[in-house]
Structures are given as structure tokens and as C-alpha cells.
Amino acid sequence: MIRKLKSGQYRIYARHKDPETGKRRHLGTFDTRGAAEKHEREIQYFKRH
């Protein structure tokens, strides 16, 4: 999940909430949405290989 921050940057969050904290895990911050989407695809690839 990608969300835009007030600073104008984009941050990737985990799809599911962390059971310990009740919040979504933060997986990286990027200057452009394209960079965030690219990294999200890399994360999905890594999870399955």
C-alpha cells in the first residue's frame, strides 16, 4: 500500500496490520510515486523467490 505524505513523499506500508502494534509496517519512503511502485514490485517478487 502506497500513501502520500504531507511532505510530498510516498511511503510503502505493509498490506496487513502488525498484530503486535496494530499498525501497518513501514517499508520505505520515496520521492516519487513511480519509485515507490517499482520498489513495491521488487518486494512482491522477493516474497515469492
Intervals of the chain under pLDDT 70: none
pLDDT (tens digit per residue) in 34-45: 999 999 999 999
Task: Report the distance separating Cα 46 and Cα 31, nearest Å.
Answer: 22
What's phi and psi for 24, nearest 5 deg?
Answer: -85, 140
Task: Report the pLDDT value the prediction gives residue 28, as an integer from 0 to 100.
Answer: 96
pTM for the structure as a whole? 0.84
Task: Report the distance separating Cα 47 and Cα 35, nearest Å.
Answer: 19
